[in-house]
C-alpha cells in the first residue's frame, strides 16, 4: 500500500518539484522537509541548497543547516548519497529517485557559530509562536533544473496565518499550497506564519500586505500600515501613479531580546521585504520602518524590472556579481531619500544634511577605486568596500539625476531614466554588464556617457560641488542652528575586525568632546546594542530621530593608543545636548540662484 502511494505521487510530480513541510512537527528547532522528486532521466544528479542568495552580498552556505539527508527509491530504500560540499548532495541511481527527505535547523537559534546569518536572510522556527521561512533556507534544486515548476505544501497550526507575496495560493483547511514557475521565483518569496496581525492597503493598483509579529504586542500592523502608507503614497507618485507589481508583502518580526547577529534591519525581495527589528514604542518603530522601507520598497524597480544577467540567471552556488551595484543599491538608496523631500515628507534642510552624511560616509572608503570594479569583486577582494554602495552609490545617483535635469531643462531625470530602462528591459529580460552604459547614453545624452566613464567606471572623484551648483546648492555656509549629532566624527570600517571605527576626529564637535571619542576607537555597543555594519544605519538613524535633550548616550569602544596598539574596552557616555555642527562644508540653498538653477531645483526636489 505504501509503495503504490509513493509511486502515484511520483507519477503526478512529472516535471514538478513537490515539497511538503509540517510546521506542527517542529522539534529541536528543526523542520522535516520532504520532496517528491520530478522525473529524472540521468544516472547521477546533484541536489543543492544555495551558497548565497541575491540581496545578501554574503556567502552563507545554507546547506550547513541540513542534516539527516536521505534519497529514497519507490520501495523506500535509500540510494547512495555523497555530500560533495556544504551545500551539495550527489545522488547515485538517480533514475530510481522518488523522494528526498532532510531536516533543516533554523538559523536564528543555532549552535553553528561560524558566520551567523543576518536574521532577515535566515529562518526562525518557534513552535506554536512564529515561523520566519526564507525559502532558500528550506528548499533546494537539482542541477540544470532551476526552471522547473514548484509546488509547496505547508501544514500549519489552525490558528496560524501565512503571509507571502506569491499570488498563486490555495487553502485547504490548515494546508496552504503555493505554486511557482521556477526556483528563482520561489527563492524570492519569504513567508511568515503566526497568529495573524495583518493589515492590507491598496496603493497604485497593488495590494500591500503588512504582517506583524510582536511577542509583547507593543504595536499593531494597523498602526504601522498607517505610517507606511504615507511613504508609499509618495513612492506611488514618484513612480508615476502606479506600481509595477500586483502584490507586495511586508513581513515584520519584532524582538524583545538581543539578536544572535547583534544586528537589525531588513532584506529586500522583488515583491516583499523581511524585517527584523527591536520592539520599540509605536511612533519610534514606525519611523524606523518607514526609513528602512523607503529603500527596500524601491527594489520593485531594481532589480525586479532592471537587472543584469548575473541577477536574472543568478548562480546560487557559484555567484557572480554584476559591476553595476551603483544601479541596484546606490540609486535605490538615493531614491529613498529623494522621494521624501520631493513629496513633503522631509524638509530641504534635512535632505541637505542627508547628502552631507553620505559625503562624510563615503570619505571612509577608497575613492579612487572604480565603482564597477568594486561591485564586480565585492564578495572577495573588495568586500570591505561594499557598504560604500549606500554612501558613494547614492551620491552617484544624485549627480546623475542633477546632470540629466540640467541637460533636459528639468524635463528628464533619474526617475524618467529608470522608467525607460524598465521599458527597455523589464523583469523577463536581463542586460549585459558591458552594454548598460551604451543603452543609457542611447536614452539620454552623450555627456552622460562621459560621466559614467569617468566617475563610475573610472577613478575620478565625483564632481559633487559643481553638480550641486546646477540646482543652486552651495558649500561653506556655516549653520547657526543647533542640532543633535553623533559628535562630528567620521566612522569607517576596520576590514580586519569587521567593526566600525572612528577614522577622523579633527571636526569633532562639543558633544563629541564630551563623549571623549578618540581616533582608532572601534565601536562595540551603541546605547546597549551591538553595533555592526548591518545595523548601523538603523540604530544611528533611530538615535538621531528620537533622541531628546538630556538623554544619555552610552557607547562602548575598544581603544588603541596607536593604530596597531593593544586594545582595551572603554565605556563612553554623556548627556545629549544640541550643538552647532562643526562641518567643513555645510550645504545650503544659494541666496541668488539663476533661473536655470531654480528650474533644475524645482524639477529635482520640488518647489520649496
* Whether the predicted pLDDT of 2 surpasses 50: no
**Which of 132, 165, 193 marks a domain boundary?**
193
The burial of 170, by beta-carbon neighbours within 10 Å (0-12 exposed, 13-18 middle, 19 or more buried), is given as exposed
Q: What is the DSSP letter of 148?
A: S
Would 96 be classed as within a structural domain? yes
Per 3-state DSSP, what percentage of the chain is helix, strand, and coil (rounded to 5)? 35, 25, 40
Would 222 be classed as within a structural domain? yes
Average pLDDT, the chain: 90
Asked whether the bond before 423 is cis by omega within 30 degrees of 0, the reply is no
**Which of 274, 299, 324 marks a domain boundary?**
299
Radius of gyration of the chain (CA): 25
Going by pLDDT thresholds of 50, 70 and 90, the confidence category of residue 582 is: low
Query: How would DSSP label each residue in 357-382?
Result: HHHHHHTTS-TTS-HHHHHHTTTTTT
**Higher pLDDT residue, 449 or 563?**
449
Would 497 be classed as within a structural domain? yes
Give me 275's grid cell.
524585517
pLDDT per position as a tens digit, 15-53: 999 999 999 999 999 999 999 999 999 999 999 999 999
* Whether residues 34 and 153 fall in one domain: yes
Would 525 be classed as within a structural domain? yes
Give me 442's grid cell.
542611447
Percent of the chain surpassing pLDDT 70: 94
Residues whose CB is less than 8 angstroms from the CB of residue 357 and which lie 6 or more positions away in sequence, other chains included: none
Mean pLDDT across 442-468? 96
Mean pLDDT across 490-498? 70
pLDDT at 595: 95
pTM of the model: 0.81
Maximum CA pair distance of the chain?
A: 87
**Higher pLDDT residue, 595 or 300?**
595
The Cα-based distances of 260 to 34, 122, 130, 255, 494 in angstroms read 28, 11, 17, 11, 21
Going by pLDDT thresholds of 50, 70 and 90, the confidence category of residue 7 is: very low
CA dihedral 582, 583, 589, 593 (to 10 degrees): 120
Give me 247's grid cell.
502584490
Count of CB atoms within 10 A of residue 32's CB?
Answer: 15
pLDDT per position as a tens digit, 382-431: 988 988 999 999 999 999 999 999 999 999 999 999 999 999 998 889 99
Looking at 5-160, which runs of residues are DSSP E strands? 17-22, 30-36, 44-48, 66-72, 81-85, 88-92, 99-105, 123-126, 130-133, 141-142, 150-155
* Whether residues 306 and 411 fall in one domain: yes
* Whether residues 5 and 122 fall in one domain: yes
pLDDT per position as a tens digit, 286-303: 878 888 888 888 888 888
Going by pLDDT thresholds of 50, 70 and 90, the confidence category of residue 437 is: very high
pLDDT at 10: 45
Would 201 be classed as within a structural domain? yes
* d(C-alpha 97, C-alpha 7), whole Å: 11
pLDDT per position as a tens digit, 100-136: 999 999 999 998 878 899 999 999 999 999 999 999 9
* Whether residues 186 and 202 fall in one domain: no
Q: What is the CATH number of the domain that holds 570?
A: 2.30.42.10
Number of domains in the chain: 4
* Whether residues 167 and 41 fall in one domain: yes
Would 440 be classed as within a structural domain? yes
127-162: burial string, b at 16+ Cβ within 10 Å, e else: eeebbbbbbbbbbbbbeebbebbbbbbbebbeebbb
Sign of CA dihedral 146, 151, 156, 161: positive
Give me 317's grid cell.
552556488
pLDDT at 479: 58
Would 473 be classed as within a structural domain? yes
* Whether residues 597 and 532 fall in one domain: no
Give me 85's grid cell.
560540499
pLDDT at 3: 34
CB 43 within 8 A of CB 95: yes
The Cα-based distances of 335 to 3, 78, 302, 410, 468 in angstroms read 57, 53, 11, 17, 16
Q: What is the CATH number of the domain that holds 397?
A: 1.10.390.10
pLDDT at 489: 83
pLDDT per position as a tens digit, 15-24: 999 999 999 9
* Whether the predicted pLDDT of 281 surpasses 90: no
Sign of CA dihedral 167, 172, 173, 179: negative
Going by pLDDT thresholds of 50, 70 and 90, the confidence category of residue 6 is: very low
The burial of 591, by beta-carbon neighbours within 10 Å (0-12 exposed, 13-18 middle, 19 or more buried), is given as exposed
* Whether residues 213 and 148 fall in one domain: no
Going by pLDDT thresholds of 50, 70 and 90, the confidence category of residue 9 is: very low
* Whether residues 202 and 185 fall in one domain: no
* Whether the predicted pLDDT of 442 surpasses 90: yes
* Whether the predicted pLDDT of 374 surpasses 70: yes
What is the residue whose three cell numbers read 523631500? 341
DSSP H or E stretch at residue 557? strand 552-559
* Whether the predicted pLDDT of 1 surpasses 60: no
* Whether residues 456 and 540 fall in one domain: no
Query: How would DSSP label each residue in 203-230?
Result: ETTEEEEEEEE-TT--S-HHHHHHHHHH
Distance from first CA to last CA of the chain, Å, rounded? 75
**Which of 134, 167, 193 marks a domain boundary?**
193
Would 580 be classed as within a structural domain? no
Mean pLDDT across 186-199? 97
Q: What is the CATH number of the domain that holds 3?
A: 2.60.40.3650
Q: What is the DSSP letter of 328?
A: I
* d(C-alpha 504, C-alpha 150), whole Å: 52
Domain that holds residue 393: 301-478+590-605
Give me 81's grid cell.
548519497
* Whether residues 79 and 24 fall in one domain: yes
Q: What is the DSSP letter of 435?
A: G
Residues whose CB is less than 8 angstroms from the CB of residue 365 and which lie 6 or more positions away in sequence, other chains included: 385, 387, 388, 391, 392, 492
pLDDT at 544: 83
* d(C-alpha 83, C-alpha 76), whole Å: 20
pLDDT per position as a tens digit, 248-268: 999 999 998 878 887 788 998
* Whether residues 398 and 545 fall in one domain: no
* Whether the predicted pLDDT of 588 surpasses 70: yes
Mean pLDDT across 558-586? 79
* d(C-alpha 142, C-alpha 90), whole Å: 10
pLDDT at 293: 84
* d(C-alpha 508, C-alpha 520), whole Å: 14
CB 243 within 8 A of CB 236: yes
Mean pLDDT across 209-216? 95
* d(C-alpha 62, C-alpha 106), whole Å: 10
* Whether residues 319 and 439 fall in one domain: yes
Give me 512's grid cell.
563629541
Amino acid at each position: 500500500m505504501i509503495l503504490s502511494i509513493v509511486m502515484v505521487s511520483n507519477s503526478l510530480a512529472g516535471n514538478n518539484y513537490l515539497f511538503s513541510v509540517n510546521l506542527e512537527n517542529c522539534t529541536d528547532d528543526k523542520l522535516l522537509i520532504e520532496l517528491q522528486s520530478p522525473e529524472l532521466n540521468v544516472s547521477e544528479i546533484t541536489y543543492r541548497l544555495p551558497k548565497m542568495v541575491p540581496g545578501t552580498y554574503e556567502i552563507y552556505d545554507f546547506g550547513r543547516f541540513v542534516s539527516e539527508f536521505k534519497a529514497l527509491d519507490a520501495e523506500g530504500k535509500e540510494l547512495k548519497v555523497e555530500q560533495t560540499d556544504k551545500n551539495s548532495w550527489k545522488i547515485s541511481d538517480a533514475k530510481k529517485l522518488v523522494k528526498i527527505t532532510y531536516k533543516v535547523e533554523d538559523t536564528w537559534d543555532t549552535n553553528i557559530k561560524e558566520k551567523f546569518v543576518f536574521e532577515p536572510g535566515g529562518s526562525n522556527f518557534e513552535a506554536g509562536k512564529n515561523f520566519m521561512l526564507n525559502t532558500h533556507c528550506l528548499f533546494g534544486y537539482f542541477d540544470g533544473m532551476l526552471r522547473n515548476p514548484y509546488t509547496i505544501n505547508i501544514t500549519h497550526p489552525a490558528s496560524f496565518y501565512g503571509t507571502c507575496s506569491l499570488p498563486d495560493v490555495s487553502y485547504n483547511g490548515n494546508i496552504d499550497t503555493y505554486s511557482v514557475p521556477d526556483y528563482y521565483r520561489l527563492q524570492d518569496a519569504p513567508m511568515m506564519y503566526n497568529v495573524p496581525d495583518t493589515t492590507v492597503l491598496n496603493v497604485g493598483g497593488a495590494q500591500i500586505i503588512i504582517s506583524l509579529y510582536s511577542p509583547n504586542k507593543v504595536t499593531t500592523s494597523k498602526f504601522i500600515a498607517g505610517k507606511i502608507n504615507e511613504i508609499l503614497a509618495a513612492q506611488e507618485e514618484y513612480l508615476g501613479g502606479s506600481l509595477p507589481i500586483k502584490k507586495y508583502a511586508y513581513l515584520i518580526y519584532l524582538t524583545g531580546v538581543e539578536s544572535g547577529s547583534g544586528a537589525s534591519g531588513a532584506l529586500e525581495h522583488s515583491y516583499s521585504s523581511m524585517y527584523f527589528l527591536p520592539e520599540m514604542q509605536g511612533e519610534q518603530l514606525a519611523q524606523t520602518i518607514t526609513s528602512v522601507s523607503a529603500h527596500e520598497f524601491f527594489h520593485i524597480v531594481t532589480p525586479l524590472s532592471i537587472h543584469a544577467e548575473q541577477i536574472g540567471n543568478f548562480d546560487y552556488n557559484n555567484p557572480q556579481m554584476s559591476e553595476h551595484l551603483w544601479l541596484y543599491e546606490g540609486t535605490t538608496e538615493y531614491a529613498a531619500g529623494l522621494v521624501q523631500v520631493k513629496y513633503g515628507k522631509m524638509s530641504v534642510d534635512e535632505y541637505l544634511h542627508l547628502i552631507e552624511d553620505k559625503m562624510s560616509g563615503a570619505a571612509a572608503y577608497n575613492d579612487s577605486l572604480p565603482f564597477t570594479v568594486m561591485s564586480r569583486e565585492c564578495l572577495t577582494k573588495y568586500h570591505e568596500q561594499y557598504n560604500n554602495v549606500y554612501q558613494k552609490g547614492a551620491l552617484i545617483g544624485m549627480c546623475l539625476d542633477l546632470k540629466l535635469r540640467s541637460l533636459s531643462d528639468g524635463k528628464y531625470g533619474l526617475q524618467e531614466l529608470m522608467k525607460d530602462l524598465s521599458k527597455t528591459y523589464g523583469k523577463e529580460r536581463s542586460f549585459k554588464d558591458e552594454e548598460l552604459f551604451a543603452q543609457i547614453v542611447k536614452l539620454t545624452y552623450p555627456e552622460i556617457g562621459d560621466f559614467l566613464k569617468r566617475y563610475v567606471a573610472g577613478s575620478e572623484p565625483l564632481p559633487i560641488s559643481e553638480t550641486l551648483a546646477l540646482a543652486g546648492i552651495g558649500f561653506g555656509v556655516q549653520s547657526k542652528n543647533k542640532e543633535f549629532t553623533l559628535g562630528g566624527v567620521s566612522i569607517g570600517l576596520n576590514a580586519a575586525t569587521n567593526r566600525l571605527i572612528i577614522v577622523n576626529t579633527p571636526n569633532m564637535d562639543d558633544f563629541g568632546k564630551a563623549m571623549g571619542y578618540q581616533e582608532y576607537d572601534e565601536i562595540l555597543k551603541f546605547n546597549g546594542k551591538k553595533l555592526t555594519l548591518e545595523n548601523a544605519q538603523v540604530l544611528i538613524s533611530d538615535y538621531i530621530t528620537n533622541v531628546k535633550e538630556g538623554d544619555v548616550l552610552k557607547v562602548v569602544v575598544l581603544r588603541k593608543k596607536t593604530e596597531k596598539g593593544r586594545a582595551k574596552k572603554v565605556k563612553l557616555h554623556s548627556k545629549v545636548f544640541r550643538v552647532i555642527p562643526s562641518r567643513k562644508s555645510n550645504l545650503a540653498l544659494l541666496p541668488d540662484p539663476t533661473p536655470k538653477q531654480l528650474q533644475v531645483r524645482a524639477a529635482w526636489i520640488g518647489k520649496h
